[in-house]
Amino acid sequence: MTTPDAPLILRHDDDRGVCTLTLNRPAAFNALSEELLTALQTELDHLSQNQKLRVLVIAAAGKAFCAGHDLRQMRAEPSMDYYQKLFSQCGQMMMSIQKLQVPVIAKVQGIATAAGCQLVAQCDLAVASSEAKFAVSGVNLGLFCATPSVALSRNLSRKAAFEMLVTGDFLSAQDALKQGLINQIAEPDQLDACVEALLVKILSKPQVALAMGKELFYMQLETGIEKAYEYASQTMACNMMDNAALEGVQAFIEKRKPNWPSNN
What is the DSSP track for the chain? ---TTS-SEEEEE-TTSEEEEEE--GGGTT-B-HHHHHHHHHHHHHHTT-TT--EEEEEESSS-SB--B-HHHHHHS--HHHHHHHHHHHHHHHHHHHHSSS-EEEEE-S-EETHHHHHHHHSSEEEEETT-EEE-GGGGGT---HHHHHHHTTTS-HHHHHHHHHH-PPEEHHHHHHHTS-SEEE-GGGHHHHHHHHHHHHHTS-HHHHHHHHHHHHHHHTS-HHHHHHHHHHHHHHHHTSHHHHHHHHHHHTTS-----TT-
pLDDT of residue 4: 65
pLDDT of residue 112: 98
pLDDT of residue 2: 57
pLDDT of residue 253: 87
- Whole-prediction pTM value? 0.92
Please list the pLDDT of the chain residue by residue as tens digits (264 residues).
556 678 999 999 999 999 999 999 999 999 999 999 999 999 999 999 999 999 999 999 999 999 999 999 988 878 889 899 999 999 999 999 999 999 999 999 999 999 999 999 999 999 999 999 999 999 998 989 999 999 999 999 999 999 999 999 999 999 999 999 999 999 999 999 999 999 999 999 999 999 999 999 999 999 988 988 898 888 888 887 889 888 888 988 899 999 888 755
